[in-house]
Amino acid sequence: MSGEALFKSIVSGENQSILGDIARSSLGLLSKGYEKAVSIRNARFDEGKGVTKVIVPVISVGNITAGGTGKTPMVRFICDVLTQKGLHPTVLSRGYRAEDNNKNIIISKDGAMLVEPFISGDEAWLLAKVLQKSNVIIGRERAKSAEIAINELGADCLVMDDGFQHRALARDIDIVLIDASNPFGYDHVLPRGLLREPLSGLERANIIVLTKVDQVAPGVVSGIRKRLAHMLPNTPVYETIHKPQCMYTLEEWANGEPGSSVDAYQEHRIMAVSGIGNPQSFTQTLTDVGYNVVHNLPFGDHHDFSNDDVVEIWKQAFAHQADAICITEKDAVKLSQLHAIEDLKIPILVLSIGIEFVSGKQEFIENLEI
């Protein structure tokens, strides 16, 4: 069991051993200190201290739990909507796992890539690759990134990727994504649970989007909605699914070539490989499409793949008699840079996933008016 899997088994309560109980107790003490620090920080922002307001509208996309909720496809969707309205958005990303996110760096301009993935981090580079009519900037200081976007790139609106807790830049719309498979982070803040701040922080949200609702029972979704309605009676809640859009070979994806239909390789026995926050979700998506997933090989979120990892991937694929390996677009960013990947004697497929509204899509778009 990986360290990440062990941690989740403890905080979820699945691990009922004596050591698990001791760990939860210890993590609970740490959580109290974390929660106090976050509360003090939020109180300062609530008073407007340290908050910069810019001259163009700002939309923030974020979450309240650690892990993957679908921010990247949502940012992509919002930028496409804004572009269709004739706007020129710039994405402000923290640049997680970038070479140096203390610097504010322009990653792309009007779809033209300006840096390599190791400089930007995987998520920012992926956004830059798929947003052909937008710009992407990384940097911890979002206010400084906003200034660059407005003054140097001519941005007339800004979209903050993972911006809910990064409150130093004022925003006009706060969109919070909640993963239906683990909506409230085991009801504890980090490190006892997965909440990045107390649930009361959701009161700042203008819009809430439940993601991956197709991966849980309808009764679960109803329960989440009921709890949110009690907490936030006036906040609109929308439901989305992660919709597979296209299947590429790694070479097609890297070269920007057209891919194939999602089900084009269904005759292959697939090994799913991912370094994302919710690897089970990726495997479930492949299964729902109709693929025979013979093995799931998860790595940690934002995993820095190495040539040794490629060797291990090959060993696992051979051991489970897989005909092909399927990865996410985020993982393709890093794996496509490795020389060892070219030596694999097995097809590597890249599944492109978008976001699709179960209902209320037009209303959501109307709520993006800025």
pLDDT in tens, 106-123: 999 988 999 998 899 888
Give the dihedral of Cα atoms 72, 291, 334, 195; nearest 10 deg.
Answer: 40
How far are the Cα atoms of 20, 75, 191, 289 from residue 240, in angstroms, in the given order?
A: 34, 14, 28, 17
- How far apart CA 79 and CA 107 sit, in angstroms, is 16
Query: Would you kindly state where each structural domain of the chain is located, as residue ranges?
Result: 3-46, 58-235, 244-352
Amino acid 100: pLDDT = 87
* pTM for the structure as a whole: 0.91
**Ranges in the chain, pLDDT < 70:** 1-2
58-235 and 244-352 share one fold: yes
Amino acid 1: pLDDT = 61
Amino acid 114: pLDDT = 95
pLDDT in tens, 12-27: 999 999 999 999 999 9
User: Do 120 and 107 touch, CB atoms closer than 8 A?
Assistant: yes
Q: Which residue has the tokens 């709890």?
A: 227
Amino acid 142: pLDDT = 97
- How far apart CA 84 and CA 362 sit, in angstroms, is 14
Residue burial 270-288, b: 16+ Cβ < 10 Å; e: rest: bbbbbbbbbbebbbbbbee
- How far apart CA 285 and CA 253 sit, in angstroms, is 19
Helix (H) or strand (E) holding 354, with range, is strand 348-359
Radius of gyration of the chain (CA): 21
CB atoms within 10 A of CB 123: 25
CATH superfamily of 58-235: P-loop containing nucleotide triphosphate hydrolases (3.40.50.300)
* Domain 244-352 -> CATH class: alpha beta
User: Do 368 and 250 touch, CB atoms closer than 8 A?
Assistant: no
Interstrand relation of 58-63 and 173-179 (parallel, antiparallel or unpaired):
parallel
CA-nearest of 120, 119, 170 to 143 is 170
